[in-house]
Amino acid sequence: MKIIDYLPPVLRDIGDFAEIANAEQAQFDAFDAARGGMADDLFLTTLTENGAKRWESIMNITSKGTDSLETRKFRILVKFNEQTPYTMAALREKLANLCGEDGYTAVLDAGTYTLTVRVALTAKGFYDEVDALLKRVVPANLIVDLSLLYNTWDDLEGFNRSCDLWDILNYTWDEIETCEMYTLGQMLSNGNFANGFAGWSALNAGTPTVSGGVCTFTATVANGVIYEGDRSVISDHEYYGKAGTKPTTGTTNVRIRLYDTATDNIIAATAPTTDWQTLSGVVTATATANAQFMVKDSRASGWDAVRVKNCMLIDLTKAFGAGNEPTAAEMDAIFEAVGIDYFDGAYKI
């Protein structure tokens, strides 16, 4: 509401009355906002900062300075919903309400008096609250084994194939530690530009610069390119190439390639966006030769800066065996699962 609208029309145009109304308006706006918050504070799921503070005081809950309002409401709900006596069914219901149906596991081993609870990574921000809940409600004669529900290679079983390589996806990390792994070999030297532009060359691409692990080049004519090589490739071997790219102007003509005297394989091309994007693909060498890993700007004109980082080239046939090579999507999923964008030398999976 506007205070000035409540004045008689004859007074609204008088400067003094207009200024008084404007000065009072801020107070009425604050009151109106607080009035709306009072309704929200009637329910735990819609508490405001003031409402959460009051409930925390009532329940003797100490919040952290870094806690979000959602985390504070979660903590209040946990304590509010506690009721005795507790059964496994009641505990699972509470954990499901708080973490989601797929956000936890709870198993009771009556023979060893052990309750094993795992909290999903998606709910790891509430780990301390689940810990506090279990300490309050679980009988003291039970041993509580609580930890996060980490991903295992089983999470990648959707990529399973009928070959020995993909049997590894059925192992846990503990089992993997005792198994012989497959070794990926990074064929590029200085693919992350940690040593500046060393090992790379440029053709029709001006003078590339490197800063913070990112190489920037600008083509001076069509097909300006930076490349690393020569790297020996073997006929009929499959190679996985990968690089992060960020064109200044959205285009589909910035590409990563594997080039040798027999063929010029396009590994992947950019999408028409100016955001960072990861290009990856698998190509097959058609000859045994020396090859170069390239990032090429194939635009006919309108060249501007292209940024490149984390380039990799891996011989899949050497690492996994002929006929067992993963696809580009499967390699992308493996790197995402182990949480790396780049490695030097060798990496075991």
Secondary structure of residue 157 in the 3-state scheme: helix
pLDDT by 10s per residue, the chain, length 349: 688 888 888 888 888 888 888 888 888 888 777 777 777 888 888 888 888 999 999 888 888 888 889 889 888 887 777 666 568 888 888 888 778 888 899 999 989 999 999 998 777 878 888 888 888 888 888 999 999 887 555 554 444 343 344 455 555 556 555 554 688 999 999 999 999 999 999 999 999 999 999 999 999 999 999 999 789 999 999 999 999 999 999 999 999 999 876 666 888 888 888 999 999 999 999 889 999 999 999 999 999 999 999 999 999 999 999 998 999 999 998 888 888 889 999 988 7
Secondary structure of residue 265 in the 3-state scheme: strand
Other CB atoms within a 10 A radius of the CB of residue 108 amount to 16
- The three-point CA angle 252-185-330 to 5° equals 55
Q: Which residues are CB-contacts of 68 (< 8 A; sequence separation ≥ 6)? A: none
pTM tops 0.75: no
Q: Are 267 and 256 in contact (CB under 8 A)?
A: yes
Which CA distances in Å does 72 have to 4, 69, 93, 188? 40, 5, 20, 49
Q: Alpha carbon 316 to chain centroid distance?
A: 25
